[in-house]
Amino acid sequence: PGAKYKDPKQPLNTRVDDLLRRMTLAEKIGQMSQIDQENATADVISNYFIGSVLRGGGSVPAADAPPEAWVKMVEGIQRAALSTRLGIPVMFGIDAVHGHGYVYKATVFPHNVGLGCTRDPELAKKIGAAVALEVRATGIPFIFAPCLAVCRDPRWGRCYESFSEDPKLVQQMASIISGFQGEIPTGGWRGAPFIASQHNVAACAKHYVGDGGTASGINENNTVATFHELLGIHMPPYYNAIIQGVSTIMVSYSSWNGIKMHANRFLVTDFLKNKLRFRGFVISDWLGLDRITSPEHADYPLSIKLGILAGIDMVMIPYQYVEFRDDLMTLVQNGTIPMSRIDDAVRRILRVKFTLGLFENPYADTSLVGELGKQEHRDLAREAVRRSLVLLKNGKPGEKPLLPLPKKAHGGSILVAGSHADDLGSQCGGWTIKWQGMTGNNLTAGTTILDGIKSAVVPGTDVVFSENPDAGLIQQNRGRFDYAIVVVGEHPYAETSGDNLNLTIPAPGPAIIQNVCGSIKCVVVLVSGRPLVVEPYIGIIDALVAAWLPGTEGKGISDVLFGDYGFTGKLSRTWFRSVDQLPMNVGDAHYHPLFPFGFGLETKPS
């Protein structure tokens, strides 16, 4: 009969043990190696027994590639892996962090900071399930999501990837994992990886642990906290992730009290693997081992020794696979790293691959290509946009509310102004088509906020769009407009490029607010990854809406502005008065925000 590990009727652990004992050290190290797709040729995959490939820095099959092209690319890599002696399938991973954002015409959902404002775990699950289908449409079974950071300082460039500053709200939204992977059966199955079907994907809870607590929000920096504070603020979401059977956990670039997380055996092995009984695999971040030293890669053998002994199982190398293999081989052969550590890593990786069904289904289910960007998913994203919006002001003191806006202007025109009114890329933010995101309207398929406004007003209504209207013109024409919608905010960024100490609305946003709102009744819609400085303008603004980074479904904003739906969102983060107050989070002794955590005005559907 064939080898036991190839028999799906065998118990999982029997398959793992049977396969492990057949593997050479080179094959084991291969399984621990994740390389970037840019160097994943058939020869490299087969000669180095590569276990995983990611789409990382910047490669796509082609510009505007359809799902079939992604399927073909992943298939080529898989065929090479299956041609090896033991035929262990490769696991392809990608950052589907707000929908399958890297893929042309995928549905792009609101980034996590906005989803947190819905406070709806069931919505999170539905989104997870939809994203899993869009990822599977491209033949990919593994995503580096969700980010479970508890962002404690909005100056951090990754704060929009965090559901909230409040660990309990992040724990609630961690239910997105049950959408990605499928709902774990009640009872039994504690801590072991769980993937329900070929319509689900292996998820990755990241970045373990305390990524959102770095000093002054400096990316990849140091989180100063007692163990009690770490457990109280940053650890809770990982309990929820493990209970849901999360398959993988990614280690943070950051340090805890000066110790690099990628070298922290106490937290990765003693606590996560032994105390919390996490049974999936732990993956490093990109060059995470290299960055244990400064300068990075200064002593790769030392980096590998510290990272692997800390408990990292799979290494996102992503290019130095020869050096990684050679150095790790040496460290095992000279006894620095025991074979038992290697076997633990490979066992965990194989457990996830068997649970994913990769041995039985190494190739894509091409019947799913139609799931990418499906209207049903776009409708779900539009609902998420509606429910993520937070109404911070509605009418000046003593004046009647401005929202919901009338769809029919009373004789006048409607002015739409601002850099973000007609910019699909900016409303999607980072991790969209490109790592850093893009501005403009031809990056993918979607509707801008302006598109939504135009389709919401009654036909014949004059909507005037001026990205950056001249102050004089506004003055002269002020009588012409019933009201104005000013859409301004941040341009796309990701990771360190988003670190920002002043958090002011980028120019020319403030000038546009002052020019327009100084003359015309205005609602300001802020497109940003986090709270920004608004206090200087709040007096001249009639209504203020936090829209966060809504993604491709811009109609979700006009749906609520014009009253088809009411505002229901509540702040997932404290809205500071001034950056001098930061960090300032709900529960702090000194807490004098402009708008507190949980704040949000409501309107009824009109």
Site for ligand IDD in 356-415 (CB under 6 A): none
Cis peptide before 111 (omega within 30 of 0): no
Tell me which of 285, 383, 499, 553 is the catalytic residue: 285
CB of 556 to ligand IDD, least distance (A): 26
Distance CA 260, CA 290 (A): 11
What single-letter amino acid sits at 152?
Answer: R
Out of 28, 152, 206, 351, name the contact with ligand IDD by CB under 6 A.
206
- Minimum Å gap between C-beta 463 and ligand IDD is 39
| x/- map, 503-542, ligand IDD, by CB under 6 A | ----------------------------------------
Let me know: does 114 contact 79? Beta carbons within 8 Å. Answer: no
Nearest Cα to 378, choosing from 99, 96, 107?
Answer: 107
Among 8, 57, 338, 596, binds ligand IDD (CB under 6 A): 57
56 vs 311, beta carbon nearer ligand IDD: 56
Q: How far is the CB of 14 from ligand IDD (least distance, A)?
A: 33
Region from 44-52, 53-61, 371-379, 389-397 binding ligand IDD, contact rule CB under 6 A:
53-61
Segment interacting with ligand IDD (CB under 6 A) among 50-58, 194-202, 270-278, 359-367: 50-58
**How many residues contact ligand IDD, by CB under 6 A?**
9
Instruction: Note the helical H segments in 357-479.
Output: 375-388, 424-428, 449-456, 471-477
Closest approach of Cβ 377 to ligand IDD, in Å? 22
Q: How far is the CB of 144 from ligand IDD (least distance, A)?
A: 3
- Residue 95 or 422 having the CB closest to ligand IDD: 95
Let me know: does 183 contact 523? Beta carbons within 8 Å. no
CB of 283 vs ligand IDD, minimal distance in Å: 9
Between 27 and 285, CB nearer to ligand IDD: 285
Shortest separation between residue 156's beta carbon and ligand IDD, angstroms:
12
Say whether 495 is catalytic. Answer: yes
Q: How far is the CB of 494 from ligand IDD (least distance, A)?
A: 8
Give least dist CB 302 to ligand IDD, A.
Answer: 21
Q: Are 217 and 156 in contact (CB under 8 A)?
A: yes
**Site track 453-492 with ligand IDD (rule: CB under 6 A), x = hit:** ----------------------------------------
**What is the spatial distance between Cα 508 and Cα 350, in angstroms, rounded to a whole number?**
53
Q: Which stretch binds ligand IDD (CB under 6 A): 49-57, 188-196, 236-244, 485-493?
A: 49-57
Check if the beta carbon of residue 567 is closer than 8 Å to that of residue 603: yes
- Residue number with CB closer to ligand IDD (429 or 563): 429
- Selected catalytic residue, list 229, 343, 344, 495: 495
Nearer to ligand IDD among residue 108 and residue 449 (C-beta):
108
Strand partners, 206: 147, 250
At 107 the three-state DSSP class reads coil
Nearest approach in angstroms of CB 35 to ligand IDD is 12
- For ligand IDD, the binding residues in 7-46 under the rule CB under 6 A are none
Pick 284 or 394: Cβ nearer ligand IDD: 284
Chosen residue from 286, 319, 465, 599 binding ligand IDD by CB under 6 A: 286
Q: Edge to edge, what strands does the sheet with 222-223 contain?
A: 222-223, 255-256, 259-260
| Cis previous bond, 459, omega within 30 | no
Q: What is the DSSP string of 179-248?
A: HHH-PPPSSS--SS-----TTS-B-EEEEETTGGG-GGG-TT-EE---HHHIIIIISHHHHHHHHTT--E
Query: Which C-beta is closer to ligand IDD: that of 211 or that of 542?
Result: 211
If the CB atoms of residues 149 and 272 are measured against ligand IDD, the closer one turns out to be 149
What secondary structure letter does DSSP report for 58? S
Smallest CA-to-CA distance from 71 within 388, 406, 477, 362 is with 362
φ, ψ of residue 133 in degrees (nearest 5): -65, -40
433 backbone φψ class: left, alpha, beta (φ>0; ψ -120 to 50): left
Answer for the pair 556, 536: CB distance below 8 angstroms, yes or no.
no
Site for ligand IDD in 91-120 (CB under 6 A): 95
- What CA–CA distance (Å, rounded) separates 132 from 104? 16
Task: Return the range that interacts with ligand IDD (CB under 6 A); candidates 51-59, 100-108, 117-125, 440-448.
Answer: 51-59
Compute the least distance from the CB of residue 204 to ligand IDD, in Å.
Answer: 7
**Main-chain phi, psi angles of 39, to 5 degrees:** -115, 25
Residue span binding ligand IDD (CB under 6 A) among the ranges 54-62, 302-310, 391-399, 404-412? 54-62
283 or 545: CB nearest ligand IDD: 283
Residue 548 tokens, joined: 């966060």
Q: Name the helix (H) or strand (E) containing 249.
A: strand 248-251
Cβ contacts of 391 within 8 Å, gap of 6 or more: 403, 543, 544, 545, 567, 569, 600, 601, 602, 603
- Which of 30, 56, 212, 429 contacts ligand IDD by CB under 6 A? 56
Closest to ligand IDD by CB, 211 vs 482, is: 211
Residue 354's contacts (CB-CB under 8 Å, 6 or more residues apart) are: 12, 15, 16
Stretch that binds ligand IDD, among 9-17, 52-60, 79-87, 187-195 (CB under 6 A): 52-60
CA distance 316 to 35: 6
d(CA 391, CA 169): 19
Classify residue 479 by burial, with Cβ atoms within 10 Å: 0-12, 13-18, 19+: exposed
One of 27, 285, 383, 423 touching ligand IDD (CB under 6 A): 285
Residue number, 146 or 509, with CB nearest to ligand IDD: 146
d(CA 286, CA 306): 16
The reply on whether position 260 binds ligand IDD by CB under 6 A is no
Q: Is 27 a catalytic residue?
A: no
Shortest distance in whole angstroms from residue 56 CB to ligand IDD: 5
Residue of 48, 49, 109, 144 interacting with ligand IDD (CB under 6 A): 144
Which lies closer to ligand IDD via its Cβ, residue 206 or residue 570?
A: 206
Q: What residues are labeled active site?
A: 285, 495
Query: Which residues are near ligand IDD by CB under 6 A?
Result: 54, 56-57, 95, 144, 206, 285-286, 495
